[in-house]
């Protein structure tokens, strides 16, 4: 049977956990060498055969046990998240609790969603059954290091698949924490494993015959590479590739709520979210009031130590992310944009010797097509403002991007609500609310934002063989 190829090096450089609040090294790990990767794939293959034959009761028990562990260790697990990627501690605790809730939701609802159903046929009996595919490789990002994994793991494991996690190199401690969580919850050997490997080792795992499917959350470039590699060997993929979500404010909107939620939607997790509101498209009739209150609210946000309860915006994940964001804003400034607030880095609580990776919440207006921010995803606490004359122009601006992940529209006019739900080019439309992911609704995008869905019954069946049965 084919083995995974490590790539041009045996294992690659160390995988480092660096605290973005101070820039200091927390812990370093050696990537798995080819023999360790081969052993993990072997365990996954054996585990997949066994787990596919497990009962739904056994799978439910595993998810409920994982949920209980998370609920009992919220502060300790959240501390790891905050230390490793800078998420404010309150948000980190909320992420841990959200994962526990998702495990419980799938434990309760997946059995019914996996139940076979009968189809009426002339002169025959028909039914549809849902069976696991096998080993699912998950290539996950750092911004929600537990929740992103839970979105794949909870439905995939309930469907009878097993998981191999290749997490982002900046969150190895979170990756190992997840493997340990499932081990302590009672997962049989091979059901959930973490692979600490470099990027150059990933293609060999994707093309290994023992891997049945791949799911990735990441950049458009990374997604297209993975899609090409998986497609070359005929494997199923689910891709969530980011977004530039519009936040549309029309004249009938509740403006105080739109301002308050808009600020939260832009700066949650320091703005490092695929479904963060990034482009604020405001009708001219309410633009002056909305912009004035929005800019004042962004300016008032407290940036600092993510463990300080007063902090509202923590650091970006690393120095490279800080530099990329600063370069995008500087390009807009040079090209004539209006920097209405922010637009600069911030020295963190560690002082000049340990400045961390902070960036001040920023609002930019007068955006033109020649600016990088007009076409690129902006991953940080930077809001882009567009003023439009009517609903037609709002839709044109909202849809005028390669992305199509989430969208938020603020209007109390029922006809406008129906129109924007119908015409927004996005996988999700939230009316008078902030875009969020939840177990009950499918999550995913269109256009360059990806293919496939996570969560809900749609995400559960992505990694199933939807088998049609005809019986004479």
Which domain CATH number covers 424? 3.40.309.10
Q: Report the number of distinct structural domains present in the chain.
A: 2
Is the same domain home to 460 and 361?
A: no
On the 0-12 / 13-18 / 19+ scale of CB atoms within 10 A, 33 is middle
How many angstroms separate the CA atoms of 125 and 137, rounded? 36
List C-alpha distances in Å: 201 to 31, 140, 277. 10, 15, 34
- Tokens 């697990």: give the residue: 77
- What sign for the dihedral angle of Cα 151, 154, 155, 157? positive
How many angstroms separate the CA atoms of 35 and 363, rounded? 50
Is the same domain home to 217 and 311?
A: no
Residues annotated as catalytic are: 240, 274
Question: In this structure, what DSSP letter does residue 201 have?
Answer: G
Give the model confidence (pLDDT) of 200-250 as tens digits. Answer: 999 999 999 999 999 999 999 999 999 999 999 999 999 999 899 999 999
Q: What angle do CA 319, 325, 328 make, to 5 degrees?
A: 140
- What sign for the dihedral angle of Cα 388, 393, 399, 400? negative
In this predicted structure, the answer to whether residue 390 has a pLDDT above a threshold of 70 is: yes
Collapsed DSSP state (helix, strand, coil) of residue 12: coil
Report if residue 437 sits inside a domain.
no
Packed helices 56-72 and 89-114: angle between N→C axes, nearest 10 degrees:
170
Task: Compute the half-sphere exposure of residue 238: CA atoms within 13 Å on the CB side of its CA.
Answer: 26
Report if residue 4 sits inside a domain.
no
Give the model confidence (pLDDT) of 13-42 as tens digits. Answer: 789 999 999 999 999 999 999 999 999 999
Is the same domain home to 310 and 206?
A: no
Q: Are 345 and 323 in contact (CB under 8 A)?
A: no
Is the same domain home to 165 and 95?
A: yes
Is the same domain home to 331 and 383?
A: yes
How many angstroms separate the CA atoms of 279 and 364, rounded? 10
- The total number of residues written for the chain in this structure: 472
Over residues 388-409, mean pLDDT: 98
Is the same domain home to 210 and 270?
A: no
How many angstroms separate the CA atoms of 297 and 172, rounded? 35
Provide the pLDDT for residue 348.
95
Give the model confidence (pLDDT) of 111-160 as tens digits. Answer: 999 999 999 999 899 999 999 999 999 999 999 999 999 999 999 999 99
How many angstroms separate the CA atoms of 204 and 21, rounded? 35
Report if residue 7 sits inside a domain.
no
List the one residue out of 35, 17, 157, 36 whose CA is nearest residue 86: 17
Give the model confidence (pLDDT) of 460-471 as tens digits. Answer: 999 999 999 999
Is the same domain home to 173 and 269?
A: no
Q: List the domain range (segments joined by +) for residue 212.
A: 15-241+447-471
Which domain CATH number covers 64? 3.40.605.10
Reported confidence tier of residue 12, pLDDT bands at 50, 70, 90: low
List the one residue out of 172, 248, 207, 163 whose CA is nearest residue 420: 248
What does DSSP say about strands 430-431 and 345-346: parallel, antiparallel, or unpaired? Answer: unpaired
Is the same domain home to 104 and 151?
A: yes
Alpha helix segments (H runs only) across 365-413: 391-399
How many angstroms separate the CA atoms of 416 and 409, rounded? 9
In this predicted structure, the answer to whether residue 8 has a pLDDT above a threshold of 50 is: no
Report if residue 76 sits inside a domain.
yes
Is the same domain home to 223 and 312?
A: no
Q: Are 313 and 342 in contact (CB under 8 A)?
A: no
On the 0-12 / 13-18 / 19+ scale of CB atoms within 10 A, 127 is middle
Report if residue 349 sits inside a domain.
yes
Q: What percent of the chain has pLDDT over 90?
A: 97
Reported confidence tier of residue 3, pLDDT bands at 50, 70, 90: very low
In this predicted structure, the answer to whether residue 303 has a pLDDT above a threshold of 50 is: yes
Report if residue 440 sits inside a domain.
no
Provide the pLDDT for residue 14.
83
State both tokens at 274: 């695929």
Reported confidence tier of residue 78, pLDDT bands at 50, 70, 90: very high
In this predicted structure, the answer to whether residue 98 has a pLDDT above a threshold of 90 is: yes
Is the same domain home to 57 and 179?
A: yes
3-7, 123-127, 291-295, 322-326: least confident range: 3-7
Is the same domain home to 314 and 291?
A: yes
Is the same domain home to 171 and 295?
A: no
How many angstroms separate the CA atoms of 231 and 217, rounded? 17
Give the containing element (helix H, strand E) for 253: none
Q: Are 150 and 95 in contact (CB under 8 A)?
A: no
Report if residue 353 sits inside a domain.
yes
Reported confidence tier of residue 426, pLDDT bands at 50, 70, 90: very high
How many angstroms separate the CA atoms of 277 and 378, rounded? 10
Beta-sheet strands, E only, within 180-220? 192-194, 211-217
How many angstroms separate the CA atoms of 302 and 321, rounded? 20
Report if residue 22 sits inside a domain.
yes
How many angstroms separate the CA atoms of 468 and 440, rounded? 26
In this predicted structure, the answer to whether residue 4 has a pLDDT above a threshold of 50 is: no
In this predicted structure, the answer to whether residue 108 has a pLDDT above a threshold of 60 is: yes
In this predicted structure, the answer to whether residue 349 has a pLDDT above a threshold of 70 is: yes
Over residues 287-310, mean pLDDT: 98
């Amino acid at each position: 049977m084919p083995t995974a190829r490590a790539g041009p090096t045996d294992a690659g450089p160390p995988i480092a956990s660096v605290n973005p609040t101070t820039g200091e090294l927390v812990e370093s790990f050696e990537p798995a060498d080819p023999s360790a990767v081969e052993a993990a794939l072997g365990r996954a293959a054996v585990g997949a055969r066994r787990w596919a034959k497990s009962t739904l009761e056994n799978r439910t028990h595993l998810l409920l046990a994982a949920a209980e562990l998370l609920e009992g260790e919220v502060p300790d697990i959240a501390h790891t998240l905050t230390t490793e990627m800078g998420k404010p501690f309150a948000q980190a605790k909320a992420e841990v609790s959200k994962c526990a809730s998702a495990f419980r939701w799938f434990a309760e609802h997946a059995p019914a969603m996996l139940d076979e159903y009968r189809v009426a046929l002339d002169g025959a009996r028909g039914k549809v059954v849902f069976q696991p595919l096998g080993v699912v490789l998950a290539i996950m990002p750092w911004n929600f290091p537990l929740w992103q994994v839970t979105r794949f793991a909870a439905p995939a494991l309930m469907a009878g698949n097993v998981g191999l996690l290749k997490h982002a190199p900046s969150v190895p401690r979170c990756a190992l924490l997840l493997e340990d969580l499932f081990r302590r919850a009672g997962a049989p050997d091979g059901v959930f494993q973490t692979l600490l490997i470099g990027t150059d080792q990933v293609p060999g795992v994707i093309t290994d015959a023992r891997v049945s499917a791949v799911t990735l959350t990441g950049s458009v470039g990374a997604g297209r590479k993975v899609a090409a590699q998986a497609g070359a060997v005929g494997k199923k993929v689910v891709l969530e590739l980011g977004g530039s979500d519009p936040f549309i404010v029309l004249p009938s909107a509740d403006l105080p709520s739109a301002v308050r939620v808009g600020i939260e939607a832009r700066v949650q997790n320091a703005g490092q979210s695929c479904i963060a509101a990034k482009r604020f498209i405001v009708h001219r009739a309410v633009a002056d009031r909305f912009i004035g209150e929005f800019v004042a609210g962004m300016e008032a946000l407290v940036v600092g130590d993510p463990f300080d309860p007063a902090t509202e915006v923590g650091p970006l994940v690393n120095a490279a992310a800080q530099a990329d964001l600063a370069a995008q804003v500087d390009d807009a400034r040079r090209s004539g944009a209006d920097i209405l607030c922010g637009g600069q880095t911030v020295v963190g609580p560690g002082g000049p010797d340990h400045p961390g990776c902070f960036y001040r919440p920023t609002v930019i207006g007068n955006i033109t097509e020649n600016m990088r921010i007009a076409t690129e995803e902006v991953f940080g606490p930077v809001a882009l403002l567009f003023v439009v004359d009517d609903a037609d122009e709002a839709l044109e601006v909202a849809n005028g991007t390669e992305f199509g992940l989430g969208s938020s529209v603020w209007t109390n006019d029922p006809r406008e609500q129906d129109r924007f739900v119908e015409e927004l080019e996005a996988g999700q439309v939230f009316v008078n609310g902030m875009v969020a992911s939840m177990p009950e609704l499918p999550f995913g995008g269109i256009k360059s934002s990806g293919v496939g869905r996570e969560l809900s019954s749609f995400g559960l069946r992505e990694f199933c063989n939807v088998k049609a049965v005809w019986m004479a």
